[in-house]
Amino acid sequence: MERIGFIGLGIMGTPMCLHVLEAGYPVTVYNRTAVKMQPLLKAGAAAAPTPKAAAQRADIVITMVTDTADAQQVIIGEDGIVHGAAPGSVVIDMSTISPSATRMIAAELQQKGIDMLDAPVSGGDSGAMAGTLAIMAGGKKPVFDRCLPVLQSMGKTITHVGDQGMGQTAKLCNQILVAVTNMAVCEALSFARKAGLDPDLMIEATRNGAAGSWQLANLGPKMVQRDFAPGFMVDLQQKDLRLALETAREMKLPVPGTSLVNQLFLSCQAKGEGREGTQALIKALERLAAHS
């Protein structure tokens, strides 16, 4: 079997890596905060002191980090994967980062004979724990075919969407859809409450019709219950929206709905709600309407 390196063991990375282990792959892990490696070591993984060292022991190296700068650091930075990976190996970046930065990283890896897939995910921590993530992969089709069994250990819907950078582009499309739909759910709930309609009944009446969505079915009830515990944090959503807006600006493409949601989430961050779940968006609309 392919030897796997896994770098980045946060809320998403830890359960994803556990699924790779459960599928029988030999895994070497690295995380900047070493204590987060412990659950994986107990499950049978080996530890590496640097991304370079993890790559030296792997045929396929998976990264799941927070932002573009983090991905650049662990892949092409000092002691990064590029310095330890052998020609013919593959880097699968499953983070959500800039499409243009992805293409730059892939080009640097290719100079050393290392292939790359950008394969960001959707489905949140619950999808990571269940192994049912949607995975959008960009890169060469033969590389995708080689890595598909590994991706199938972590996800349920795995789609090859084109060359390098297209996985990240598909993920940003996903985040635009998620964020703008979340805003629609917030507006509908605020409208229902202001009009005197029981918001729970509104959700029940609409969730299985043409207006139904994951956000309505899953985040709507949390908004009603005032449950703002994070499944996906506002701060992370804002990071993704920033990437979407930057990429849209590069293309000279207006995205007014995305821009508006970004501003509403900015008001949540200004109120210290950045580490709450994205359902906290409703609080921004409530403040505009002067009700809670």
Look up residue 146 and give its two tokens: 């080689």
What domains does the chain contain, in order, with CATH numbers?
A: 4-163 (3.40.50.720), 170-289 (1.10.1040.10)
Which residues touch 38 (CB under 8 Å, ≥6 apart)?
A: none
pLDDT of residue 231: 84
3-state secondary structure of 247: helix
Residue range 106-119: mean pLDDT, rounded: 98
Query: pLDDT grade, residue 49 (50/70/90)?
Result: very high
Residue range 18-42: mean pLDDT, rounded: 97
78-89 b/e with 16+ CB inside 10 Å = b?
ebbbbbbbeeeb
pLDDT of residue 292: 58
pLDDT of residue 158: 98
DSSP secondary structure, 38-78, as one string: HHHHHTTPEE-SSHHHHHHT-SEEEE--SSHHHHHHHHHST
pLDDT of residue 125: 86
- Between CA 234 and CA 75 the distance in angstroms is 26
How confident is the model over 253-289, as pLDDT tens digits?
Answer: 999 999 999 999 999 999 999 999 999 999 999 999 9
pTM, entire model: 0.92
How high is the mean pLDDT of the chain?
Answer: 96
Catalytically annotated residue among 171, 194, 252, 271: 171
pLDDT of residue 124: 85
- The distance in angstroms from the start CA to the end CA of the chain is 55
The percentage of residues in the chain with a pLDDT greater than 90, rounded to a whole number, is: 96
Residue range 109-122: mean pLDDT, rounded: 97
**In terms of DSSP bridges, do strands 121-122 and 133-138 run parallel, antiparallel, or are they unpaired?**
antiparallel
- Catalytic site residue 222? no
